């Protein structure tokens, strides 16, 4: 498995979901729309305390909003502690400046792929299936797993192996109705849970499965 560690630096980006230096306050004391009753608060707070996530200028976190593909790439890159990529060699032409080093690095590592040679889809809201691929590849999760029985997995057959792998790891489960929600947007609070669990995944056999709403 890819080595998982935090690269905490004093970097502050003026973006909706930014990366910053380590903070001392709890998320509930910072965001007006987050408290300990918020789904996945523990994960949100853990990433916030490590400076991996931040909120919006109005003081909100917007836990139910979607997450852009560029922002997913920045957060995964930061969590992995990988060096910046070679932006001059990157062929994508739609990556904003704040995400270029991250996208270049993860592209070089084969963690992420675009829609074409020139289009990454930076501003598209990431789907849960796309995030499954990002995390399974980034953290080297086991791909040789049994079908997890998600009823909508054929809705994105190209990513079905990654969805099954994420489910089998215990990092995520599907909805109570049996679907994984492959084409649903990944909500900010759910991604916080995905990423925090992936960073702390211990590869133990038969990991506990904890569902994502």
Q: Does pLDDT of 7 surpass 70?
A: no
Residue 213: count of CB within 10 angstroms of its CB: 13
pLDDT digits (tens, 9 = 90+) for 16-25: 344 444 455 7
What's the average model confidence in pLDDT over 128-147?
Answer: 95
Give just the sign of the alpha carbon dihedral 126, 129, 131, 137.
negative
pLDDT digits (tens, 9 = 90+) for 71-114: 999 999 999 988 999 999 999 999 999 999 999 999 999 999 99
CA distance 137 to 47: 20
Nearest to 163 by CA among 193, 127, 188, 190: 127
Under the banding of pLDDT at 50, 70 and 90, the label for residue 45 is very high
Residue 166 CA to chain centroid, in angstroms? 12
Phi and psi at residue 127, in whole multiples of 5°? -90, 165
Inter-axis angle of helices 160-169 and 128-138, nearest 10: 70
Percent with pLDDT over 90 in the chain: 75
Q: Note the pLDDT of residue 105.
A: 96
Q: Which two tokens stand for residue 69?
A: 């593909």
Q: Note the pLDDT of residue 203.
A: 60
Residue 160 CA to chain centroid, in angstroms? 17
């Amino acid at each position: 498995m890819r080595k998982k560690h935090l690269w905490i630096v004093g970097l502050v980006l003026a973006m909706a979901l930014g990366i910053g230096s380590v903070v001392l306050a709890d998320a509930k004391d910072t965001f007006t729309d987050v408290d300990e009753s918020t789904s996945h608060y523990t994960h949100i707070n853990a990433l916030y305390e490590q400076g991996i996530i931040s909120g919006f200028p109005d003081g909100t976190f917007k836990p139910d909003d979607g997450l852009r593909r560029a922002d997913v790439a920045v957060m995964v890159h930061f969590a992995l502690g990988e060096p910046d990529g070679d932006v001059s060699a990157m062929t994508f032409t739609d990556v904003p400046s704040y995400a270029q080093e991250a996208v270049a690095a993860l592209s070089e590592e084969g963690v992420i792929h675009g829609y074409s040679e020139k289009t990454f889809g930076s501003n598209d809201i990431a789907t849960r299936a796309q995030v499954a691929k990002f995390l399974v590849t980034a953290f080297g999760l086991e791909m040789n797993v049994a079908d997890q029985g998600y009823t909508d997995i054929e809705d994105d057959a190209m990513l079905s192996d990654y969805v099954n792998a994420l489910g089998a790891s215990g990092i995520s489960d599907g909805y109570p109705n049996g679907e994984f929600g492959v084409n649903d947007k990944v909500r900010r609070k759910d991604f916080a849970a995905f990423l925090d669990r992936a960073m702390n995944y211990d590869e133990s056999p038969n990991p506990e499965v904890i569902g994502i709403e």
